[in-house]
Amino acid sequence: MGSSSWSTDAYHARQAYNSSVGSSSFGYTDDVLASAPRSSWRTHPALDPKGVTTRESRDSAEHPNSLAISVLFDVTGSMRDVPRVLQTKLPDLFGLLLRKGYVEDPQILFGAIGDATCDQAPLQVGQFESGNELEDDLGNILLEGGGGGQVTESYELAMYFMARHTAMDCLEKRGRRGHLFVIGDEMAYGAVKAEEVREEIGDDLTEDIPFPRILAELRRSFEVYFVMPTGSGHFHNPEVRGFWDTHLGQNVIYLDDLDAVSETIAVTVGLAEEAIDLEEGLADLAEAGSGAGAAVGKALRPLSRTRGSVVVAETPGGAGEDGGGVSRL
């Protein structure tokens, strides 16, 4: 996947067409909600993780230096509005990554996270794409709006998939980890449950995997960030904040403005890839006419103060369970 290229003109043409015919950018959700009882809601076939061997980010003639960037949304409750916001900001995301040279060949995967204990579509995973096919993946996400009554969602199930069902040339050829952003407002469950893996992904997992262990495994392949936007149900919940602060430290991003999510992702990647420092990133936002600078600056200043050099893997897959196997050059 990922052999095409992004076109802002094509994006705007599609938006204009949808507007002219009264269509939503999230047509699959609209169709499902209008035509089927909740008990029959299902993940779109293009995003169904069951039976998927790998989602691949590969180099191509058009994109010889691919870098994998994954964005997984919690789509339970109020969080289901996040994909709608990001869909409107795709030109800003690609504009910064490409025109400002933060990344030579970004390949982006979108996915969605629910609650495997009660939702019909608890895990949805698209492809790594370099072009406007990303709009299709976003449009096919089922914005279920479910979740249970607790402060946990199945983030750990998504992390299991990303740890064991992705393959990336940036890692395998160049020893550079991809970037993974989880956007949510609750805690993960304490373990990846073998029964849920068998049901939702199809792997014959025989025992549960504690959350710290699957996170350490995931971090061998990805620099992992948790983004908690304001307006979410648990933005000020100290238990949720403490959970992610404990597990991810400075890679937890508290964002005061949901509309700034695309710019935050782009500048974070630019910082990690050493294409910019924070002040340069904020200057780029201002030059692009974005009003997100204040929110992005506040969200990323703690992260920017702790950044070393680009994080690379010593040997792909060569880390222990403590999340090692990487070095800062």
Q: Report pLDDT for 190.
A: 97
pLDDT of residue 146: 78
Residue 111 phi/psi, 5-degree rounding, is: -150, 175
User: What residue type is 163 in one-letter code?
Assistant: A
In tens, the pLDDT along 38-96 reads 778 899 999 999 999 999 999 999 999 999 999 999 998 867 778 888 888 887 888 88
**179 contacts 283 by C-beta, under 8 angstroms:** no
Question: What's the CA gap between 322 and 219, in Å, rounded?
Answer: 9
- pLDDT of amino acid 318: 44
Ramachandran angles phi, psi of 195, nearest 5°: -60, -40
User: For residue 324, what pLDDT is reported?
Assistant: 44
Pairing of strands 66-74, 105-113: parallel
What does the pLDDT read at residue 325?
A: 43
Q: How far apart are CA 108 and CA 102, in angstroms?
A: 14
Which residues in the chain land under pLDDT 70?
A: 1-3, 78, 148-149, 231-233, 307-329
pLDDT at position 122 is 95
Q: Which amino acid is at 155?
A: Y
pTM assigned to the model = 0.90
In the chain the beta strands, taken as DSSP E runs, fall at 55-57, 66-74, 105-113, 123-125, 152-153, 166-168, 178-183, 187-188, 191-192, 209-210, 222-229, 252-255, 311-313, 326-328
Q: How far is CA 163 from CA 183, 213, 216, 228, in A?
A: 17, 11, 9, 22
Please give the pLDDT value at position 11.
82
Task: Decide yes or no: CATH 3.40.50.300 for domain 8-307.
Answer: no
Phi, psi of 40 (to 5 degrees): -105, 5
DSSP state of 163: H
CA 74/CA 82 separation, integer angstroms? 8
CB of 71 closer than 8 Å to CB of 95: no
What is the reported pLDDT for 20?
A: 85
